Amino acid sequence: MKFVDWELIDYQVAWDKQKEIFNHIIECKSNGQATQQHERIIFCEHPHVYTLGKSGKSQNLLISEDFLKKIDAKFYPIDRGGDITYHGPGQIVGYPILDLENHHISLKQYIFKLEEAIIATLREYQIEATRLQGATGVWLDAETKQARKICAIGVKASRFVTMHGFAFNINTNLNYFQYINPCGFIDKGVTSLQKELNYTIDIEEVKQKLKQNLYKQFGEIL
């Protein structure tokens, strides 16, 4: 399992690169070949973009195509689970492309481990985050009226191979969330590490902490 940082990358380009790795792992499985050496955990950032999961509702994008252009954003219906979310600069987007059979876990356990790595990373900044019953992702004050999401999760899996992943708000411009119902919710907020701590965060430092916490959940990352 190898760690890669694609840094700032166009969403479509990253999606195509993900699919190439994902399809190669599935092809190896089909041929009875080992897949561990092809697994990747990818970090990146995207220019402003909204993505809609296959079970999402298009009306959760609250703006027109013309307004999308005005705010320099793109929109993609994609093949992950979940509803609509936003990606942009200052956000750590993670794409673990793993063969879950190598890790002896189910898809539900995989999502739990992703959430656990984010929760552990936030704890290093003295922020206590949790899960929200009935929803994926990582939340602050989850069971209160102040519930707000700091990390969205949406994945695709086929033959126990995963793609897509998580979007962890670090120094994210949260104004872009006002143009959607994030993850389909109309009564929940969003936040970022910067907003919670009230200063600009060293995103490279967060990546290193998160990488170590993913290591604890999934094993050695080269």
Active-site residue, from 28, 44, 151, 183: 183
Q: How many residues does this entry show for the chain? A: 222
| Active-site residue, 44 included | no
Those residues with Cβ within 8 angstroms of residue 208's Cβ, 6 or more apart along the chain or in another chain: none
Q: Give the residue carrying structure tokens 């389909």.
A: 184
Q: Give the residue carrying structure tokens 């290193």.
A: 208
Between strands 49-52 and 84-87, the pairing is antiparallel
CB-CB neighbours of 125 under 10 Å? 14
Strand partners, 139: 130, 149
CA 199 to chain CA centroid, nearest Å: 23
Those residues with Cβ within 8 angstroms of residue 207's Cβ, 6 or more apart along the chain or in another chain: 5, 43, 92
Those residues with Cβ within 8 angstroms of residue 30's Cβ, 6 or more apart along the chain or in another chain: none
Tell me the catalytic residues.
Answer: 183
